[in-house]
Amino acid sequence: GQNIDQPTEMTATEGAIVQINCTYQTSGFNGLFWYQQHAGEAPTFLSYNVLDGLEEKGRFSSFLSRSKGYSYLLLKELQMKDSASYLCAAANYGQNFVFGPGTRLSVLP
Amino acid sequence: GAVVSQHPSRVICKSGTSVKIECRSLDFQATTMFWYRQFPKQSLMLMATSNEGSKATYEQGVEKDKFLINHASLTLSTLTVTSAHPEDSSFYICSSEGDGNEQFFGPGTRLTVL
């Protein structure tokens, strides 16, 4: 079967660094995506990892370890606007996505 | 990135009526689109994969006769919720594949069934 796990909620302080972890078990794995979703809005694409290692994009970085079935999203210099849900999604061949439950991040002043 | 639109953004209907939601790819041709449903404080659940010119592929547990999907052109897929009931109230989101394997999501449609 397919299973993706993330922490349900996290809290961090403005200006800090936060790491959101994601573990997955899926057949035909073809990449790990991270999306940001503000309440009442559709998800927006943040990052995509298909090979092991770290992908850096501005304040956001994403890491993947295929052997461990593990990924994390790293957010630096947190801003209030970063308060949102962060969804990890595993893509399999055929491009079906399986989404994790999402992590609701609250950034406090 | 690709632009995907949905219409309507919000709809309120009476129980027993049918509601059609449109998903359009505005600047590219989409042979495959995906329909998701999201309940409050939950993640996205894939309902079906919509394929242009052929029948949709439904996920386990999704009633194909209740959620009718039509993908008649390369830029339009529609989801019709037939005989809607209050438990069908949800946030419905469509997406389309990009060149880099990512999915681009429409803005979503919030359905409320009274």
pLDDT above 70: residue B100: no
Q: Is some CB atom of chain B closer than 8 A to the CB atom of A50?
A: yes
From B20, B5, B34, B37, select the one nearest B79 (Cα to Cα): B20
Contacts of B106 in chain A (CB under 8 A): 42
pLDDT value at position A103? 96
Q: Does A29 touch chain B (CB under 8 A)?
A: no
pLDDT surpassing 70 at residue A59: yes
Per-residue pLDDT at B8: 96
Q: Which residues of A touch B104 (CB under 8 A)?
A: 45
The DSSP call for residue B59 is P
CA dihedral of residues B25, A41, A22, A94 (deg, nearest 10):
-20
Residue A19 banded pLDDT, cuts 50, 70, 90:
very high
- How far is residue B78's CA from residue A49's CA, in Å, rounded to a whole number? 31
Question: Would you place residue B99 in the very low, low, confident or very high pLDDT band (cuts 50, 70, 90)?
Answer: low
Strand runs labelled E in B39-108: 45-51, 57-58, 67-73, 76-81, 90-97, 103-105
pLDDT-derived band of residue B2, with 50, 70 and 90 as boundaries?
confident
Tell me whether strands A9-13 and A103-108 are parallel, antiparallel or unpaired. Answer: parallel
HSE (side-chain half, CA atoms, 13 Å) at B23: 33
The sign of the CA dihedral B40, A42, A46, A77 is negative
Q: What is the pLDDT of residue A27?
A: 82
Query: Between B18 and B1, whose confidence is greater?
Result: B18
Answer whether A42 sits within 8 Å of B108, measured CB to CB.
yes
Is the CB of residue A1 less than 8 Å away from at least one CB of chain B?
A: no
Nearest Cβ partner for A42 among B34, B43, B93 = B93
How many degrees, rounded to 5, is the angle at CA B102 between CA A79 and CA A95?
140
What is the percent of chain B where pLDDT is above 90?
A: 63
Contact A45 B1 (CB under 8 A): yes
pLDDT tens column, B14-66: 999 999 999 998 887 878 899 999 998 888 899 999 888 888 999 999 999 99
The residue in chain B having the minimum alpha-carbon distance to the alpha carbon of residue A41 is B107
